[in-house]
Structure 1
């Protein structure tokens, strides 16, 4: 009987979870009709991870090194299979995730709502208010935007953050073990998911929150409780980090060699151990764009908006004689965005928090009496400043140059993910205080009236500005207009009208929602609505406000049928032709798309291109200085055996490269250089398009000469070398992390291998005896090979792999013990609830 009564206490929460599941599935309904979401970044990952996934299927082991992108790079940033982590397995289970398959997007919204609902329960919020806050958080427009783009790890880490905050609050409330277990579990998921920029932002938010709680503890004389909670939380955080650290530890090792670690090529300004500042701040919101959190299409939304054939733009296209089918196609992807973010190809939509949520956020500042609200508000301002990037240079350049690890990240606009959590927290907190009568009805009306005046007044000012002072001209409009030829100026005049229309209609829309939200609160303050009706009305308003905007960025157009999806992984005629070559290992350069922003070729071939935000820095240098100029000698030394180029009517065709040097060769001489710049310049040679270029003196010949930095003179010593006419090295066995060669040379030789140099894990042996690997030709490997016939082997054994897995195993065990202890403590008394419950909270039946 007691067990039945205990179960009944959880039935209301179960009902809320069912609502979340239904809402998530309804929002993503095409995924349940035999369709797959078409996510650019997910396709990119599937292409890039193909070799490592196949290797794992065959061996059950991590490939560790990926040869199918950028000539080779560590696998850890592309694909990883933890060996000892129950955290990783549970993380995949709750996502309903199958490795190597596109996930169902409904899962992301469901997890986001559940996580936020846990936080609301922790804050002793009525379950219906908690559900409303969860919906507001999950369907804030940033989330469907990143889901549609395929930024799944980012979405998951945003989703997990509220539950981490919940655990922190529980611990500081005195339930130390339960809070530590909850925060530790979700922090482990947070780190395991591995979007480290969101992890960085999330930890900054936790630090701000903990400091705010400390100030409160000092005022209330509860320092002892604060210290105990802090110690327990620190231990749980340590367990969580250890449990999910295997990948993080290895990435930290790789980071100093990646493009996030800086380049020495152009001197100290690029060798400071971080991204180039200009590159890092490309995606910075303008100060005016912050208002998109209140008015979604104030700056046009995205670069691919469906504005309809009856738009000014569509009508102008028709007037200019465009076929109706073409008009329909163009207006479905109109460049409506006109804000300051110049990387418009990545401008996928406006970050909209909701007009009603913004109203409640302002009301929270007037209603909530807990000073912690100011810490959360300050955190909002801090992250808005970060999002402005180069448009708030005094603050952000200081952060970039001086704040630890901040210069490893790009896309400042991502910082808006944190206010998208804080806004609904404060909004629902305000409603909790209002509906538990912590403020009188008379005072409530005064606060509501002021909040409506502030928020609605801002909407009204924006509406007036959309008609009077805004120009609607984007920084790249000139380039876009050129694509339309002589009709470009006329078409963009029409597009400006559509931009103005979108801005004004959304400003009016937000004003209406603010007034309606204010009207509900007025009716409650004047006793014209009871609590239940007011909560229901506000919930409907918030859902009606946010979900349609979210639907702009994730809808049936983002899905493809399964046959169309499968076609993305079908080889074309050029791919099939190249695959007929049974050579063990060669490389391909695909020029039918942007070769270093597209990883499709990596799915079928070993490619010298690909896409990744943190490729090896030495390879990035080579792209910028040599490959991008089609340096024939450099392409040959990378064993680029085939080019895929546009043929008749754009169809891809194959061009063989007879100059490709194969997997390894002996050289006759060394050219010693002192600096990175000298080494790079020593590779200068004619381009493919101008092989007789006489302007290049002392053109690089990789068959004859190896370019070495003087830092390797100790390894070379007094070694003399040469090669006879029949000297050769042949690859006999290929694997991503182990390759075998046979060599034959009557003289001592210096062998160059067409594989990318990486000092943190690659080893070379000659007849089983290890020999040092030297970096040559800026990116390749070289070893000294004695005269005669020899068996040479290269194998990849990252020094941190085994120790990182051991650390993860220990962390998994400790975290499991912590969670078991917390569960025992929570349920040792029959009927003990998992979360604190406010008996005074309004209950809607």
Structure 2
């Protein structure tokens, strides 16, 4: 009996060991002293530098940073973990050498999901592989979208706990659901959490219909109530960052533009629909889920020396070796892409089998959520449908890159496919019916792939927007290579599907034992997934630790600027792309940066003023012979300047080369200045437009200003000087000859910033579309700004209580369960 028990349980440590070997073996470079060169991680390290340095030496957290976009909350930069005690467990689960640890976390989650479904543990291993090795995961790991990868890795953990609650133990499953929801949400990628919610919504609908059919609705209702309470409890453990994030969203690009609403481009409460749907799959592009290079693969891909493109480049006199590894192989309509959402040819074949064979509401629920996500991934290619969701479905308009919704397929395709495989291998269908389904599945999947081999023009013209930047005579050779890539991958998919179908057919006809069938299918899955994944995460993406450490080597120009001992000024770095590159934020307080959720008003300023000013500056700079001449580009001519916003934002230095000296702007308005007039305006469009029509040195543009402020704004010789700086607190000494209006070159944000004059709190009003403004009375004063949003303090408190309550409840439930098992065991022995 003991031997049988050991044999039964041996699969679990074997599975864990296999997952460790698979995940760490996929990225052996981590054992060679190499580090993955992730662009978004590099950007994050730059944008988070000021806040990180502050947090190392202070007990409180830097909730605001001035290192990027002239100032913004850190809630979208740094994950707030204070108060959430469940992070103690999730840190253990996520421990290990990255990026292998991400893959391992996902593999285990997928394995647990299929175990919760009641499947054979050996088949569950295949499910873990299917949910993990979709090529999209490799692409986001390589790019450095770590929070997204961790959020995806926790999706099957949440699904497993929900399934366990309905199938096994409602109370314990619900508590595990609360815990896994806490893990998933604390990964801090709301868009992935939103898509997980869609899956759960469809799954619960399917379970409800099944319960009604089986006359078990009361039991379903009780479990569902527990699940909903658990989900809410799991969410509240992350209130520490959810509340500040929700509060900030309204004012960020995710909340929409007041200008866009006025011009009809957005609802004013969400993203502009054109921006949100930029990354839309075209309808035929969806077939790259089964054929990786159906649309060419990556926007920056490699061809070999035998390619037509290589030969043509050589004929044209180019150094083909230097460019052949960076060719625009992708020819679809997305602006650019790292690669396809390849789900695996074999797994899609199994999914089709599931659609044919599996019966009941759950199958239809999975089919429904798959179809919905596919249609939404088409974005502007099915504009009426996207617009419907954009306008009427809560929160949908907060997210961009609509093609990301296909992560739903990463969960659903293996879920139905592996479930169908298990049923087949357990002989739950008549052999004749199973064989018929096998032939139909083979015809649909392998048949289409074979058709793509024979008629590649099914995919379209093989030309795309990126081709416009290439020499015309190179295009025919590139088209030929793109066709060859499609044929090659289509044939690859045919072979893999035929192999899997053949193995299953042999199993159905009892030619081989089930465990061997599973082993062979597992091997075929690895042959399918691993080479495809290696296209997007391979040795070329790793660098040595010494190179990695030197990514932010201080340039001569950085050293020069840092000699300026003033507490606070800003920098514009033109050596990169100022508004999509955070590198300057590592050493400086930059007016640029990189963040897809920056303050919407600042984005408006970038589009309406900073970009035109920057272009004007660059054009004029080409005509300058000296740095002094360049400095005069910022000059005022009477009351006019072509650079009013850069001056307003205290842009003191402009970097145009990393090696020389920067251009100094002597006309920057400083940290604060007293204005002698207020220009009243009546709306956001008038407010942002008036900035260039007044002299911002002497006039503040204000929307519906208080009448006493307008009367108070008179000429004076007053001064306001910054005396103390930290990300969360700014202090000034003011010497006012009379009551006056002071404009501060700081970004106005209505939630969290408070101001005091000599200890008495005073209101902060907005001027010049984005700056802070105070009414300061006559005399000598101490002015203090501090940032501590109530959403943060309240969120941390809620997180503390909810996470502690969750962990104690889970511990009590586990103890209760163990005591019950021991009692039942003793009763059996008696």
TMscore range, shorter length: over 0.9
Aligned to 1:340: 333
State whether residues 578 and 642 of structure 1, in contact with CA within 8 Å, keep that contact through their aligned partners in structure 2: yes
Aligned with 2:690 (options 661, 664, 682): 682
Following the alignment from structure 2 to structure 1, what is the Cα–Cα distance between the partners of residues 663 and 260? 34
Aligned with 1:290 (options 271, 286, 301): 286
Secondary structure (helix, strand or coil) at the match of 1:177 reads helix
Aligned with 1:645 (options 648, 656, 660): 656
Aligned to 1:365: 355
Aligned to 1:696: none
Following the alignment from structure 1 to structure 2, what is the Cα–Cα distance between the partners of residues 105 and 718? 58
Indicate yes or no: 2:341 matched with 1:330: no
Aligned with 2:455 (options 441, 457, 465): 465
Following the alignment from structure 2 to structure 1, what is the Cα–Cα distance between the partners of residues 821 and 688? 72
C-alpha deviation, 1:825, in angstroms: 3.8
Following the alignment from structure 1 to structure 2, what is the Cα–Cα distance between the partners of residues 117 and 827? 23
Indicate yes or no: 2:804 matched with 1:804: no
Aligned to 1:109: 103
Deviations 1:175-198 (A, max 9, x none): 111211221111101111111111
Corresponding residue pairs, total: 794
C-alpha deviation, 1:464, in angstroms: 2.3
C-alpha deviation, 1:772, in angstroms: 1.1
State whether residues 174 and 225 of structure 1, in contact with CA within 8 Å, keep that contact through their aligned partners in structure 2: no
Following the alignment from structure 1 to structure 2, what is the Cα–Cα distance between the partners of residues 267 and 280? 15
State whether residues 83 and 240 of structure 2, in contact with CA within 8 Å, keep that contact through their aligned partners in structure 1: no
Following the alignment from structure 1 to structure 2, what is the Cα–Cα distance between the partners of residues 613 and 540? 40
Aligned to 1:251: 245
Aligned to 2:616: none
Aligned with 2:526 (options 539, 543, 556): 543
Q: Mean Cα displacement is larger for which, 716-725 or 80-89?
A: 716-725
Following the alignment from structure 2 to structure 1, what is the Cα–Cα distance between the partners of residues 823 and 406? 38
State whether residues 64 and 796 of structure 1, in contact with CA within 8 Å, keep that contact through their aligned partners in structure 2: yes
State whether residues 721 and 747 of structure 1, in contact with CA within 8 Å, keep that contact through their aligned partners in structure 2: no
C-alpha deviation, 1:49, in angstroms: 0.6
Following the alignment from structure 1 to structure 2, what is the Cα–Cα distance between the partners of residues 88 and 520? 43
Aligned to 2:297: 301
Deviations 1:118-162 (A, max 9, x none): 001111111111111111221111110111111111111111111
Q: 1:832 to 1:8 in 2, by over 3 A?
A: farther
Q: 1:832 to 1:456 in 2, by over 3 A?
A: farther
C-alpha deviation, 1:783, in angstroms: 0.6
State whether residues 261 and 268 of structure 2, in contact with CA within 8 Å, keep that contact through their aligned partners in structure 1: no
Q: 1:216 to 1:501 in 2, by over 3 A?
A: same
State whether residues 195 and 408 of structure 2, in contact with CA within 8 Å, keep that contact through their aligned partners in structure 1: yes
Indicate yes or no: 2:587 matched with 1:604: yes
Secondary structure (helix, strand or coil) at the match of 2:673 reads strand
Aligned to 1:614: 597
Q: 1:271 to 1:440 in 2, by over 3 A?
A: closer
State whether residues 557 and 657 of structure 2, in contact with CA within 8 Å, keep that contact through their aligned partners in structure 1: no
* TM-score w.r.t. length of structure 2: 0.93
Q: 1:569 to 1:200 in 2, by over 3 A?
A: same
C-alpha deviation, 1:530, in angstroms: 2.1
Indicate yes or no: 2:743 matched with 1:752: yes
C-alpha deviation, 1:652, in angstroms: 6.3
Q: 1:393 to 1:652 in 2, by over 3 A?
A: farther
C-alpha deviation, 1:748, in angstroms: 1.4
Secondary structure (helix, strand or coil) at the match of 1:764 reads strand
State whether residues 363 and 451 of structure 1, in contact with CA within 8 Å, keep that contact through their aligned partners in structure 2: yes
Indicate yes or no: 2:734 matched with 1:731: no
Following the alignment from structure 1 to structure 2, what is the Cα–Cα distance between the partners of residues 276 and 7? 59
Following the alignment from structure 1 to structure 2, what is the Cα–Cα distance between the partners of residues 227 and 81? 35
Aligned with 1:702 (options 680, 687, 696): 696
Following the alignment from structure 2 to structure 1, what is the Cα–Cα distance between the partners of residues 660 and 691? 30
Secondary structure (helix, strand or coil) at the match of 2:678 reads strand
Following the alignment from structure 2 to structure 1, what is the Cα–Cα distance between the partners of residues 205 and 132? 27
Aligned to 2:634: none
Following the alignment from structure 1 to structure 2, what is the Cα–Cα distance between the partners of residues 705 and 450? 75
C-alpha deviation, 1:431, in angstroms: 1.3
Aligned with 1:524 (options 507, 523, 534): 507
* TM-score w.r.t. length of structure 1: 0.91
Following the alignment from structure 2 to structure 1, what is the Cα–Cα distance between the partners of residues 563 and 428? 76
Following the alignment from structure 1 to structure 2, what is the Cα–Cα distance between the partners of residues 83 and 720? 44
Question: Runs of 4+ in structure 1 displaced over 6 angstroms?
Answer: 4-8
C-alpha deviation, 1:747, in angstroms: 1.5
Following the alignment from structure 1 to structure 2, what is the Cα–Cα distance between the partners of residues 6 and 246? 45
Q: Mean Cα displacement is larger for which, 502-511 or 451-460?
A: 451-460
Secondary structure (helix, strand or coil) at the match of 1:52 reads helix
Deviations 1:716-772 (A, max 9, x none): 4575243434x2111110011101100112111211100000111111111111111
C-alpha deviation, 1:266, in angstroms: 4.2
Aligned with 2:680 (options 662, 672, 676): 672
Secondary structure (helix, strand or coil) at the match of 2:446 reads helix
Aligned with 2:308 (options 292, 307, 312): 312
Deviations 1:306-346 (A, max 9, x none): 212332111212222223xxx223111111000121x11xx
C-alpha deviation, 1:167, in angstroms: 1.2
Aligned to 2:732: 741
Indicate yes or no: 2:206 matched with 1:215: no
Following the alignment from structure 1 to structure 2, what is the Cα–Cα distance between the partners of residues 597 and 652? 23
State whether residues 62 and 80 of structure 1, in contact with CA within 8 Å, keep that contact through their aligned partners in structure 2: no
Indicate yes or no: 2:754 matched with 1:763: yes
State whether residues 386 and 412 of structure 1, in contact with CA within 8 Å, keep that contact through their aligned partners in structure 2: yes
Q: Which residues of structure 2 form unaligned runs of 5+?
A: 614-641, 825-830
Question: What is the Cα-based RMSD across aligned positions, in Å?
Answer: 1.9
Following the alignment from structure 2 to structure 1, what is the Cα–Cα distance between the partners of residues 810 and 216? 26
Deviations 1:6-25 (A, max 9, x none): 88754321110110011101
Deviations 1:589-617 (A, max 9, x none): 11111111000001110000001111001
State whether residues 111 and 124 of structure 2, in contact with CA within 8 Å, keep that contact through their aligned partners in structure 1: yes
Q: 1:431 to 1:7 in 2, by over 3 A?
A: same
Deviations 1:531-577 (A, max 9, x none): 12211111111110111001100001111111111111212111111
Following the alignment from structure 2 to structure 1, what is the Cα–Cα distance between the partners of residues 195 and 522? 29
Aligned to 2:13: 14
C-alpha deviation, 1:36, in angstroms: 0.7
